[in-house]
A and B are shown apart, each in its own frame.
Chain A
Amino acid sequence: GAVVSQHPSWVICKSGTSVKIECRSLDFQATTMFWYRQFPKQSLMLMATSNEGSKATYEQGVEKDKFLINHASLTLSTLTVTSAHPEDSSFYICSARDWGREVAGYNEQFFGPGTRLTVL
């Protein structure tokens, strides 16, 4: 099956620092990747859609200057949390859409294992 990895799997940082999270599609090309945020006991909330070679599309209420997304290649998207604060502590999950697997006009999304960010 299609595999998506995330690095790091967990990170602890001091308030005010920036943290970069990588999302890679290991065995397929992904022109589109998605970044989600999951609070404890809550649903995954889509933060942004990352398109290779173009600017990311952010969901309403998500600060694009705080959550910088770069999708420089067909297999890598990065999310940088700038000037992190304790309220940014969360579980960040990426998914990648596989162009090679289309069913009824839909390309399935495959999810990474997530990155737990703790800001002290």
Chain B
Amino acid sequence: AQSVSQHNHHVILSEAASLELGCNYSYGGTVNLFWYVQYPGQHLQLLLKYFSGDPLVKGIKGFEAEFIKSKFSFNLRKPSVQWSDTAEYFCAVRPDSSYKLIFGSGTRLLVRP
């Protein structure tokens, strides 16, 4: 079965620290990859997505992610986090041409000022 794993359930960082959140998926075919963010009390918002081409994808608010096909990974990074980045982050995979999104369990990030 297709699945998405986010191994870090909780991450606590100080402002200006660098961030990397792991995401691995299990599916052998073509995939589209997404990172969503959910700020406290708000709805899910798309941070960035990968469909094809350059495996290093840049998103909003200084986030980027790198697709490494050989590792089935799509890790999210930000060089310097801010207090306002405190939120829950979800990795999602869209297998083949399906419109279904398969989500990881999420990572709660707390950034201390």
Identify the A interface with B (CB < 8 A): 4, 32, 34, 41-46, 49, 93, 95, 97, 103-109, 111-114
Docked CA distance A57–B97 (Å): 17
Instruction: Decide yes or no whether B73 CB sits under 8 A from chain A.
Output: no
Contact B97–A43 (Cβ < 8 Å): no
Contact B90–A112 (Cβ < 8 Å): no
Identify the B interface with A (CB < 8 A): 4, 9, 32, 36, 42-46, 51-52, 90, 94, 97, 99-106
Report how many A-B pairs have Cβ atoms within 8 Å: 51
Docked CA distance A113–B38 (Å): 10
Contact A43–B51 (Cβ < 8 Å): no
Contact B105–A106 (Cβ < 8 Å): no
Q: Which residue of B lies closest to A1 (CB)?
A: B45
Known contacts: A104-B51, A106-B51, A112-B43. The answer to whether A42 contacts B100 by CB under 8 A is no
Contact A106–B32 (Cβ < 8 Å): yes
Distance in angstroms from B37 CB to nearest chain A CB is 11
Contact A41–B9 (Cβ < 8 Å): yes
- Picked from B43, B100, B106, the residue with its CB within 8 Å of the CB of A111 is B43
Known contacts: A43-B90, A43-B106, A104-B51. The answer to whether A93 contacts B44 by CB under 8 A is yes
Docked CA distance A97–B101 (Å): 12
Docked CA distance A113–B104 (Å): 18
Q: Which residue of B lies closest to A104 (CB)?
A: B51
Known contacts: A103-B51, A106-B32. The answer to whether A44 contacts B90 by CB under 8 A is yes
For this complex, 26 residue pairs linking A to B, each with C-beta atoms less than 8 Å apart, are A32-B99, A34-B99, A34-B100, A41-B9, A42-B106, A43-B104, A43-B106, A44-B90, A44-B101, A44-B103, A46-B100, A46-B101, A49-B100, A93-B44, A95-B44, A97-B99, A103-B51, A105-B97, A106-B32, A106-B51, A109-B99, A111-B43, A111-B45, A112-B43, A113-B42, A114-B43
Q: Which residue of B lies closest to A42 (CB)?
A: B105
Complex contacts, A45 vs chain B, CB 8 Å:
103
Known contacts: A43-B105, A103-B51, A104-B51. The answer to whether A4 contacts B99 by CB under 8 A is no
Distance in angstroms from B33 CB to nearest chain A CB is 12
- Picked from B9, B46, B97, the residue with its CB within 8 Å of the CB of A108 is B46
